[in-house]
Structure 1
């Protein structure tokens, strides 16, 4: 160990001398079983992690519970709902198809982790299966499952994530318009941004472009 820095597996063992419990190891399986499928069907929100030549990406995905479909025990389907079209996750997948997923279920302490690899499809028949509000996704991610396991509830409990009394007061936080206004103000190459107008129009724009 170099000073207080952990730089090797041996350093990790010294810093964390208690081994993982048997349950934390055998809960990991290579497929989606009935219990894990139930959790996926109940989840309205998943965080998607990817990696590519330009770096890492962690992207939120959400819709009605069950928007991620279990096609079979080794395959998940994730429709791409409308977003900002940065396509960071997709560009990464084209060069490195490894992904990680973290499913959250409001009111439920455990989270679900899925690791695997992904491919992108714009097959019309497949996209039609995920039509919502009269709109079809531009593509569907086909996820080939390699590892599935649940994460214990300690982090959610510590954060009191589902406690309504812990919800932030939005007025105490910078709005999207404020963030954009201040960033553009520091860049002389970008025209002045009207953050107040952006905030006023945002709720209606989100409603009109949700799908």
Structure 2
């Protein structure tokens, strides 16, 4: 398949854009500066990107602010809370340790980008740091920082992400049960899945 309009060289790509400004370059450091640490510790949500096999992936990770712990200025600790047990991100990290994280704070339009490498750890001392309600994560990610900088507000301002007026009613989209019933050709009872989901979610957060 030919793609006549695809950019295939760095020279072609760079010709389409102006040079990065001084501020865009000055904001990047190779460690968690105290200013950036404040953002990380205030964030209840981060997006974790990993590389594996034929493609890259991204998954949300969230908990109370500070759930991503700062071990030192070059190391973060991210607990792997209960999920669907697909462990896609963890499989990827075992095969290729490169990761990226994007930290989001409700009401704040700037985000923090972290790039580095990660390992999947079962160190009892690290796991003990992440226990909530007596429940420990199966593993924790130990993330070695290589780059940190803030992403300007344009994307979140354009998206109006934090504007209550733009919130979408969940029932305006297909339910999880509807999706599962259709994709499984009704081997999964979608109505039953939707009915039990609220309690299931409540019981399996940790």
Distance 1:115 1:142 in 2: 13
TM-superposed CA distance for 1:7, in Å, is: 1.6
What residue number does 1:138 align with? Answer: 138
Matched residue SS, 1:65: coil
Distance 1:71 1:14 in 2: 41
Distance 2:123 2:10 in 1: 45
Task: Answer yes or no: is 1:25 the counterpart of 2:64.
Answer: no
In structure 2, stretches of 5+ residues that fail to align are none
What residue number does 1:11 align with? Answer: 12
What residue number does 2:62 align with? Answer: 62
What residue number does 2:161 align with? Answer: 161
1:23-172 correspondence to structure 2 within 5 Å:
23-172=23-172
In structure 1, stretches of 5+ residues that fail to align are 186-190
TM-superposed CA distance for 1:3, in Å, is: 4.5
Task: Answer yes or no: is 1:174 the counterpart of 2:174.
Answer: yes
Deviation by residue 1:98-124 (Cα, 9 ceiling, x = unmatched): 101011111000011000001111112
Deviation by residue 1:59-80 (Cα, 9 ceiling, x = unmatched): 1100000100111000000111
TM-superposed CA distance for 1:57, in Å, is: 1.7
TM-superposed CA distance for 1:192, in Å, is: 2.4
Alignment counterpart, residue 188 of structure 2, candidates 193, 201, 204: 193
Deviation by residue 1:179-204 (Cα, 9 ceiling, x = unmatched): 0011112xxxxx62211110010000
Distance 2:10 2:125 in 1: 48
What residue number does 1:188 align with? Answer: none
TM-superposed CA distance for 1:165, in Å, is: 1.1
Distance 1:209 1:6 in 2: 45
Distance 2:115 2:39 in 1: 15
Matched residue SS, 1:127: helix
TM-score normalized with structure 1 length? 0.93
Distance 1:55 1:6 in 2: 19
What residue number does 1:205 align with? Answer: 200
Deviation by residue 1:12-31 (Cα, 9 ceiling, x = unmatched): 12221x21111001100000
